[in-house]
Chains A and B, each alone.
Chain A
Amino acid sequence: METLTFWQSLIIALWVAAIMSRAFLGGATLTLRFSPLMTGLVVGIVMGHVAEAMIITAAIQLIYMGVFSPGGTMPSEPSIAAAIAVPVAILGNLKPEAAIAVAVPVGLLGAYLYQFRFFINTFLGKITDRAVEKLDDGAITRSIVLYPVIASFILFVPLVFIALYFGAPVIADVIKALEGTVVFHILEVIGGGLAAIGIATTIYVIGRREYIVFFLLAFFMSVIFASLKITMVTYAILGALIAAIFVLVKSSNNRTASTNANDASGFDDDDDDF
């Protein structure tokens, strides 16, 4: 079986570390980390198989639809998952669904690795304190930006490199052996259901329990109209219009309600979960 070269493994490992250190373009790492798409593209370019990489990454993206990190905790690391799963799938000539079988466990392990970064930074914070005492801006900058970035690279580069350089061909073999067994069926079912986590999290964080009717409306619309292949942009415009109509009606109701004090409807009571 084909393997990744030293340089291919190293470049992918450096890319992952650049994202996970949160340093590459700063705030832009948010979507680089939440979504496997860009990492999949980089893997595709490095391996010279952009089209295959994108098809596989799209399948991985589907299981992470809606994933984000409320309050900083994230159950899974989609970009690390893609960094390992996409090369494995390309090397082993696996179906995109098989890549999910690799992505799910790798993503979970990646989440623990990311937490470890906070632990290191807690110690680096002591350097910040000392630098603030001395009002040394250069030292403050080094302790806030440079050292945490170096620490993340030391943490992520060797691990991702080893996983790719030595691990990828082995994992591909294992997955190939599992194809057609019940294990594979289990992983496919889990992969199909996992998007529910991100979606439910978003609904909960938005926190408007009384507005859940809009979720249900959209859900049944998309199920009923599935065969019409309506695009996301169309749905987004439709959703914005429905929301705008609701807000217009509600605010004009509020205006009549203010003249007509007793008229406040139950719909306006915001009993948020927060």
Chain B
Amino acid sequence: MQDKGNKLPNASGSNLEPEQITSKDVSKSYIRWHFANEIPHSFDRYLAASLLWAMMPILRKLYKDDEALRAAYKRQLLFFNTQLTWGGGIITGLMSSMEQERAREEYNREEIKMTDDLMYNTKAGLMGALAGIGDSIDSGTIQYIFIAIAIPWAQHGSALGALFPFVCFATYQVLIGLFFARQGFTRGRNATTLMQSSGIQNIIDLLSILGLFMMGILAGNYVKVSSSLTFHLSGREFNIQETLNSILPGMLPLAVVLGVYWYYTKKGLKVTRALIWLTVILGVLAAVRIL
């Protein structure tokens, strides 16, 4: 292994011994991540600065040597982008555990098995996959279940319509994030296998199905597309929407949702482009009074 971090000055003297990392430290680290999260989001490193800021107190406890500490700071400041709770939680916990192992190896002057590469590859391998799950389940599904519950209250002019989903979802995120951070820490390197275990796979399956189911409910309730086209045929008025309803109610909203989905499968996840296309198509069809 040719890691730069291996070339360390001699760790001598008992004052250089790494302190013990407790689950309280990990929770504090996660709370720091939860707070900083998107604040320093940049084009080159995305959320790396937030991860560094989250890890700082732990790294201070582990590395009493300036050179080693600087190397650790830089290690946690490499490109990083993931989702707040699933990705951020598991990875802050996991990095705490891996840095602890690294600090121990350095202090005992053992051969460094916890290399920079291993740590970065673990982080990079998990951040994308966990972001996909976390985004679709947290932001995409659970958030909208709370919002969908509260919408009728908002429609009646109640402030609860705004407060309920905000308080519920914000609390849920802190709790689930802390849970994942502790799990990541206690399982250590096994956290990579955590995602493959059948229990977790079943939970992801269950939440994926629930997510798709709720999307169906949202689409049925909140996508409003109907034809306003009417024409006269031998003195009688024909309304296209009534005809469509008599064949299959909800045909047009479903066609729009599946159309956007089909666009993604062909062109990849180009959300802004899909939005512009849909706006143009709906706008033109509305202007000529087909919709």
Contact = CB atoms under 8 A, between A and B. Distances in A.
A217 B216 contact: yes
A271 to B, nearest CB: 12
Contacts of B225: 189, 192-193, 196
A75 B271 contact: yes
Given A57-B162, A58-B161, A140 B219 contact: no
The winner among A111, A196, A207 for most chain B CB atoms within 10 A is A196
B269 A204 contact: yes
A65 B136 contact: no
B40 A145 contact: yes
A48 B291 CA distance: 37
- The B contact surface, by secondary structure, is helix
B95 to A, nearest CB: 16
Contacts of B45: 125
A76 B274 contact: no
Contact of B206 (A23, A121, A236, A247): A247
Most A Cβ at <10 Å: residue of B66, B213, B225, B289:
B213
B275 A76 contact: yes
Interface stretch (A3-11, A24-32, A169-177): A24-32
Interface string B192-228: 0000001000100111111111111111111111100
Given A66-B218, A125-B49, A140-B56, A194 B278 contact: yes
Contact of A204 (B128, B259, B261): B261
Main secondary structure, interface of A, reads helix
Contacts of B139: 30, 34, 68-69
Sort chain A's interface into a size bin: 35 or more
Query: Quick one: which of B74, B154, B287 has the most chain A CB within 10 A?
Result: B154
Contacts of A244: 206
Contacts of A218: 212-217, 220
Given A73-B272, A218-B214, A243 B157 contact: no
A38 B166 contact: yes
Contacts, number: 374
A135 to B, nearest CB: 6
Given A145-B40, A204-B264, A31 B169 contact: yes
Contacts of B69: 135
A251 B140 CA distance: 26
Interface string A237-271: 01110111011001100100000000000000000
A-B pairs with lowest CB-CB distance, top 8: A218-B216, A222-B220, A51-B157, A26-B35, A192-B224, A239-B213, A200-B260, A68-B139
5 contacts: A26-B36, A51-B157, A75-B272, A145-B36, A208-B208
Interface of A: 21-23, 25-32, 34-35, 37-38, 40-41, 44, 50-52, 54-55, 57-58, 61-62, 65-66, 68-76, 104, 108, 111, 117-119, 121-122, 124-125, 128-129, 132-133, 135, 137, 140-141, 143-145, 148-149, 182, 185-186, 188-190, 192-208, 211-212, 214-224, 226, 231-233, 235-236, 238-240, 242-244, 246-247, 250-251, 254, 273-274
